[in-house]
Amino acid sequence: MKKEINPKVIKYIEEEIFPKYKELKGHTLKHIEQVIERSLKFAEQAPGVNLDMVYVIAAYHDLGRLIDNDTYNIESAKMLKADKFLRKHFSDEEI
């Protein structure tokens, strides 16, 4: 059975998260798309992995640079945790 990413998650990320990368210098949307592609390819090697989670994490990984370049990883995690859409699609444990 082929694993697929929830189309609602893809739509949300493309419409709400991707546009935020236009504000960053150096970490463009193209970079994020490459990170997502590589992450999903890597995830293929892990049976049972939640591809929705892989997709979202990859999409968010540099978003915290909007707040602080030095602690972007922490800021990205805070942004992900605070996202109300994601809270509807993932359990607390998954978040």
User: pLDDT band for position 74 (50/70/90)?
Assistant: very high
Give pLDDT tens digits for 22-72: 888 777 889 999 999 999 999 999 988 999 999 999 999 999 999 999 999
pLDDT of residue 57: 96
In angstroms, rounded to a whole number, what is the distance separating the alpha carbons of residues 61 and 63?
6
Distances in Å between the alpha carbon of 22 and those of 51, 61, 73, 92?
Answer: 25, 15, 18, 29
In angstroms, rounded to a whole number, what is the distance separating the alpha carbons of residues 42 and 26?
24
pLDDT of residue 6: 95
pLDDT of residue 2: 45
User: pLDDT band for position 1 (50/70/90)?
Assistant: very low
In angstroms, rounded to a whole number, what is the distance separating the alpha carbons of residues 37 and 30?
11
